[in-house]
Amino acid sequence: MTVNARLRELYPDSEELFDIVLMTNSHAQVAVRFINSINHYNLTIERFCMTGGQSPISYLKAYNTNLYLSKDPEKVTEAIEAGIAAATMFSQDREREFSDTQLKVAFDGDAALFSEDSAQMKQGHLDRFLEYKRKNEGIQSLAQIPLKSFLEALGKLQKKFYAKNERAHCPIRTYLVSEHSGASSGARVIKTLRSCGLEIDEVLIAAGAPKGPLVKKIRPHILFNDEMFNIKSLSREIMGK
């Protein structure tokens, strides 16, 4: 992984790296097959959690997980309700080229995640999680939800490169994308992310135009949005469907 390779160059003795843990409910008997696949594709995965048919969610905190990714929406919801930042992964119909020199992380500035008041949130955002939070304590900003821990961890790695005058060549690049024209709204999102220690490299405001072309140009590895409808809509724009 490029981020870890660059970190090791700049900080040879540091153990603070971008860490990936493979979590699966598969039985330990398939461990050798997993290891062979990881070695075959030259992946930097050294930690495993194989639970033999049980859900791995209960182990997330033990592994100090900052972000849990899964193709199973139910497991994602379970992780969020356990206080762990989580997101659903989905596959594209066509192959897409992604940068192998930078980890690109994009944030949808129009998402309810950045709402100032829970009353402004649209029905269906964040599914069961936001409904649970509204009933129990409400949400006013991104800093109050589990995603904060991931932002803080990402920002910490970001700053390690800045400390070595590597801002212009940082292998972590962040984007804020919005189709709205409200400058104040964009400023609020930037301040919210900054309060978590994360700096935004590029701000792209579409001012009413579709933001799909902007996301297509970025080709982010991770895009944070809180509604699957928006994700699928963006996917159709990006893939030209």
Q: How many other CB atoms sit within 10 Å of the CB of residue 14?
A: 10
The domain in which residue 67 lies consists of 2-88
Q: What pLDDT is attached to residue 18? A: 84
Number of separate domains in the chain: 2
Q: What pLDDT is attached to residue 179? A: 78
Q: What pLDDT is attached to residue 148? A: 84
Residue 113 in domain: yes
Tens-place pLDDT, residues 205-240: 887 788 888 888 898 888 887 665 555 566 555 555
Please give the structure tokens belonging to residue 49. Answer: 């959690």
Q: What is the pLDDT along the chain (241 residues), one digit of tens a residue?
A: 689 889 999 999 888 888 889 999 999 888 899 889 989 988 878 898 999 999 999 999 999 999 999 988 889 889 988 888 888 887 655 556 778 889 999 988 776 565 544 334 344 443 444 454 444 443 334 444 568 889 999 999 999 999 999 998 999 999 998 877 666 667 777 888 888 899 999 999 887 788 888 888 898 888 887 665 555 566 555 555 4
93: annotated active-site residue: no
Short-list 133, 126, 92, 91, CA closest to 111:
126
Residue 34 in domain: yes
Residue 98 in domain: no
Kindly report the length of the chain.
241
Q: What are the residues whose beta carbons fall under 8 Å from the beta carbon of 47, sequence distance 6 or more?
A: 19, 20, 21, 22, 63
Residue 96 in domain: no
Do 140 and 59 belong together in one domain?
no
**CA torsion angle 114 104 66 95 (round to 10):** 110
Residue 81 in domain: yes
Please give the structure tokens belonging to residue 215. Answer: 């996301």
Q: What pLDDT is attached to residue 64? A: 92
CA atoms within 13 Å, Cβ hemisphere of 5: 9
CA-to-CA distance for 46 and 44, rounded, in angstroms?
A: 6
| Phi, psi dihedral angles at 22 (to 5 degrees) | -85, 115
CA-to-CA distance for 2 and 103, rounded, in angstroms?
A: 8
Q: What pLDDT is attached to residue 139? A: 35
Short-list 107, 125, 101, 124, CA closest to 196:
107
Do 193 and 141 belong together in one domain?
yes
Q: Is the pTM of this model over 0.85?
A: no
Q: What pLDDT is attached to residue 215? A: 86
Q: What pLDDT is attached to residue 238? A: 54
CA-to-CA distance for 48 and 23, rounded, in angstroms?
A: 6
CA-to-CA distance for 129 and 77, rounded, in angstroms?
A: 7
Do 110 and 185 belong together in one domain?
yes
Q: What pLDDT is attached to residue 11? A: 93
Given 13, 72, 100, 108, the catalytic residue: 108
